[in-house]
Amino acid sequence: MHFPRLPVLALAMLCAVLTVAESPAQTVGGSGADQTRETARIGVLAYRGNDAALDEWRPLAAYLADSVAGWTFELIPVTLSSIQGEIEADQLDFLITNPGHYVALAAQHDLSAIATRERWAEISGTHLSRFGTAIIVTRDSPIASLNDLKGRKVAAISIDAFGGFQVAWSELRKQGVDAFRDLASLRFMGFPHDDVIAAVARKEVDAGIVRGGLLEILAGEGKIELDDFRVLNTQNHPGFPYRVSSRLYSEWPFAALPSTEKMLREQVLTALLKSQNPETSSKYNLRDLWSAPLSYENIRKLVGDYQKRLEATEANPVPASSSVVSVSALAAIAALMLAGAAIYSRRGNGVRMAGSAGPETRAPAEFERYADKMKSLTLRERQILELICGGKQTRAIAGVLGISPKTVEFHRTNLLQKTEAGTMAHLVQIATRLGYDQGVSLG
């Protein structure tokens, strides 16, 4: 249910309260805004943090506000996990997100893609309607191929990140590498993508999975040296300027929620297509343009295959002897994802890459708030948590520590209560991000 349409002042006060209470958001009104204007809410995937997302999409919101009579547009940064709560609470009219995320959500919530993004590529001075994934290593790494990743430590964004993991999972599978069984560890670091690059640069992991083009973007911003990294399994795509490890997929869709008013949806679609006009894009500083929606069928197939693999992981977890980090959590997260449940995490934070001194990171705020709670864990609780993150089940943990399964279950319950993580899947995500999966806090 949408909020009642209120006068601008009251609406602004309400939005201010919601912003402080939950997440950064920004409402952009058109010229001549008055009390009759209503607010449409656009969720934007904050893959490089909330501030970056707001900066990136502010010009588009301003353009839409000037182009769609009677409406202002509020930008709401979302994460892969928080979006479920936003949709279920009827807080969004539109969504801009990666295509894998879109097709998964569309299956649950009947979203429709009304346009496809044409992303501006500074490196080539062209607009790109397709993208790929890069699997990166440092320049001096001995890893030469995807098959060499067996037994190695790999960092990615999230189990449900399309460009940040799922595409790479598919490419690895083509080379006979099972990301859930063949790697020494698989660490999901969350947004922003920059954190994965920083972890590779510091050699905390052997390889990282990021959206293709991010290396070049960060190099253009002066945050990294492009020659410090190599991209594995480099693909040749004529006219595509970025180094990627995969085939190309349709760019991000601009999606409408089923509850969005028909007239509003059509007015927004018309405005998006008019972004192709050079005068319009120049006037509003629209670096990215929008075209009629491309097909997302091959993405649906990839996501479908991936979900089947997760179901198999849930049914047949990795043996206790495996050293893959968080595989026991993969099954739990898979169950949550396939059931449409949400692990809520609204706030993101950036990575600081400090010139020649090398990258420097801190955990995103959504994980930092658990740091003190994690420090309160006893030695035994930390031992059990590390084993849980390592893929071991209750009986295996009991055997390793020489205690009874009942005692292990007692400690599992205490872990959830002391950390207030809510679910074991969320606790493993927190532990992995803060370093407790290795028996020591890196937070």
| For range 331-338, the mean pLDDT | 42
pLDDT digits (tens, 9 = 90+) for 130-144: 999 999 999 999 999
**Structure-model confidence comparison of residues 121 and 347, the more confident one:** 121
User: The tokens 């999409």 sit on which residue?
Assistant: 57
| For range 63-80, the mean pLDDT | 93
Question: pLDDT at residue 32 above 60?
Answer: no
Place 9 in a pLDDT band, splitting at 50, 70 and 90. Answer: very low
**Structure-model confidence comparison of residues 344 and 13, the more confident one:** 13
| For range 47-52, the mean pLDDT | 82
pLDDT of residue 22: 43
pLDDT digits (tens, 9 = 90+) for 273-321: 999 999 999 999 999 999 999 999 999 999 999 988 877 765 555 443 3
Instruction: Could you please state the CATH topology (level 3) that the domain comprising 8-127+251-291 is classified under.
Output: D-Maltodextrin-Binding Protein; domain 2 (3.40.190)
Cis peptide before 192 (omega within 30 of 0): yes
Report the chain's mean pLDDT, rounded to a whole number.
80
326: left (phi over 0), alpha (psi -120 to 50) or beta: left
Instruction: Determine which of 304-313, 319-328, 379-388, 429-438 has the lowest per-residue pLDDT on average.
Output: 319-328
Question: Other C-beta atoms within 10 Å of 52: how many?
Answer: 17
Place 86 in a pLDDT band, splitting at 50, 70 and 90. Answer: confident
Concatenate the DSSP letters of all residues of 58-79 into one string.
Answer: HHHHHHHHHHSTTEEEEEEEE-
pLDDT of residue 88: 85
Instruction: Could you please state the CATH topology (level 3) that the domain comprising 130-248 is classified under.
Output: D-Maltodextrin-Binding Protein; domain 2 (3.40.190)
Rounded to a whole number, what is the largest CA-CA distance in the chain?
Answer: 72
pLDDT of residue 58: 96
8-127+251-291 against 130-248: fold identical = yes
pLDDT of residue 35: 58
Question: pLDDT at residue 368 above 80?
Answer: no
CATH class for domain 327-351+364-438?
mainly alpha
pLDDT of residue 339: 36
| Contact (CB, 8 A) for 184 and 151 | yes
Place 172 in a pLDDT band, splitting at 50, 70 and 90. Answer: very high
Instruction: Determine which of 1-10, 236-245, 260-269, 386-395 has the lowest per-residue pLDDT on average.
Output: 1-10
pLDDT of residue 180: 87
**Structure-model confidence comparison of residues 172 and 52, the more confident one:** 172
The tokens for 382 are 């930390």
Domain chopping of the chain, boundaries: 8-127+251-291, 130-248, 327-351+364-438
Concatenate the DSSP letters of all residues of 16-34 into one string.
Answer: HHHHHHT---EEE--TT--
**8-state DSSP, 162:** I
| Contact (CB, 8 A) for 136 and 230 | yes
Q: How far apart are CA 44 and CA 25, in angstroms?
A: 10
- The pTM for the full model equals 0.65
Place 422 in a pLDDT band, splitting at 50, 70 and 90. Answer: confident
Place 79 in a pLDDT band, splitting at 50, 70 and 90. Answer: confident
pLDDT of residue 331: 44
Axis crossing angle, helix 379-389 with helix 327-338, rounded to the nearest 10? 70
Q: Which of 192-196, 206-210, 318-322, 433-437 has the highest mean pLDDT?
A: 206-210
pLDDT of residue 150: 96
Instruction: Determine which of 15-29, 222-236, 320-334 has the lowest per-residue pLDDT on average.
Output: 320-334
Question: pLDDT at residue 5 above 70?
Answer: no
Question: pLDDT at residue 325 above 50?
Answer: no
Place 19 in a pLDDT band, splitting at 50, 70 and 90. Answer: very low
User: The tokens 């919530």 sit on which residue?
Assistant: 109
Question: pLDDT at residue 197 above 90?
Answer: yes
Q: Which pairs from 300-305 meet CB under 8 Å and 24+ separation? A: 300/103, 302/100, 302/166, 302/167, 302/170, 303/100, 303/103, 303/104, 303/162, 303/166, 305/170
